[in-house]
Amino acid sequence: MHPMLNMAVKAARQAGNIINRASLDLDRLKVARKGKRDFVTDVDHACEQAIIETLHTAYPDHAFLSEEAGRIHHPEDGSEPEYEWIIDPLDGTSNFIHGLPIYAVSIALLHRGQLSQAVIYDPSRNELFTASRGGGAFLNDRRIRVSGQLRLGDSLLGGRWPNQQATGGASYDHLRRLGQESAGVRRTGSSVLDLVYVAAGRLDGFCGVNLQPWDMAAAGLMILEAGGLVTDFSGEQDWLRSGDMIAATPKVFAQMLPYFTA
């Protein structure tokens, strides 16, 4: 395992331990609302602090982009950092608050703008997903691949789109029609897990709107390393910046993309 990936695994497991301890007594959670249907807890902050402290101690020159803390330790001259960690300390906070065990820790590393390392840890199932650029994707040290599904009509998809007003009329119609013409769409409340399930072959594809880099970065690399395809709605590689994402096994991807490019 690459040394930087190994350190990210250490940080993710530390966060997972915090989450598991807190899940035993959810009545003690301190919850704040960031927006409609958007919550943050003291556990999110504790996990974020643990991850950043672990990685910053090991790599003091690296920058960070995290859901709660934003951008920290970036170059003072405004230039792009050589290394940048992208962190979601607890994706699926609403699920966690309600005791629904569908949430995960996500950590990715950009090196000179390219995704190079990725860790996703599901503490409730003790499932550790890892990937290194060019080295494949793994679940608990077992190699994973996207599904062999060939037909969109038989495909089970993951999806993330808030509502018609937030998504925009055209995109919403495309997404709705795509859902109608597949075998079904699952919206679990954790985009990170939806996406990594594509890498593991549990879902055949995913489409999402208005995602953040920490939702996509780690799982996006895992899907690519597991043999899948990932683009934005134009079929280009700007998904990490645009927030619009299509990901799927190759045959299904080819049938999904025309819904957005036609």
pLDDT, tens digit (0-9, with 9 covering 90-100), for 181-211: 999 999 899 999 999 999 999 999 999 999 9
Residues of the chain with CATH 3.40.190.80: 152-261
Q: Rounded to an integer, what distance in angstroms lies between the CA atom of residue 71 and that of residue 86? A: 9
| pLDDT band of 32, cuts 50, 70, 90 | confident
pLDDT at residue 164, rounded to an integer? 43
* CA pair distance 175, 188, nearest whole angstrom: 16
Q: What is the pLDDT of residue 257?
A: 94
Classify residue 99 as exposed, middle or buried by CB count within 10 Å of its CB (0-12, 13-18, 19+).
Answer: exposed
pLDDT mean over 8-36:
89
Average pLDDT of span 254-262 = 89
Contacts of 81 (CB under 8 A, 6+ apart): 62, 63, 73, 74, 75
Percent of the chain with pLDDT over 70: 94
Mean pLDDT of the chain: 92
Global confidence as pTM: 0.93
pLDDT mean over 81-106: 96
226 pLDDT more than 50: yes
pLDDT range class, residue 179, cuts 50, 70, 90: confident
State the Cα–Cα distance between residues 258 and 262, nearest whole angstrom.
5
* Residues 107 and 85 sit within 8 Å (Cβ to Cβ): yes
Residue 59 or 28, more confident: 59
CA-closest candidate to residue 47, choices 71, 24, 13 = 13
Ranges in the chain annotated CATH 3.30.540.10: 3-143
Among 3.40.190.80, 3.40.120.10, 3.30.420.310, 3.90.220.20, name the CATH number for the domain at 152-261. 3.40.190.80
Q: Where are the beta strands (DSSP E) in the chain?
A: 31-35, 38-41, 63-66, 70-72, 83-91, 104-111, 114-122, 127-132, 136-139, 142-143, 156-160, 184-186, 205-208, 229-231, 245-248
**CA atoms of 11 and 257, how far apart (whole Å):** 36
Q: What is the mean pLDDT of residues 252-261?
A: 93
How far, in Å, CA of 247 to CA of 262, rounded? 17
Determine contact, residues 144/199, Cβ cutoff 8 Å.
Answer: yes
Region 228-255: what's the mean pLDDT?
A: 96
Whether residue 167 has pLDDT greater than 70? no
> Which one of 36-45, 70-79, 136-145, 155-164 scores highest in mean pLDDT?
136-145
Assess whether pLDDT exceeds 80 at residue 172: no
In eight-state DSSP terms, residue 237 is S
The pLDDT of residue 29 is 85
- Give the right CATH number for 3-143 from 3.30.499.10, 3.30.540.10, 3.40.50.920, 3.40.50.2000: 3.30.540.10
Count CA atoms closer than 13 A to 191's CA, side-chain side.
23
Q: Virtual CA dihedral for 37, 43, 49, 54, nearest 10 degrees?
A: -120
The pLDDT of residue 165 is: 46
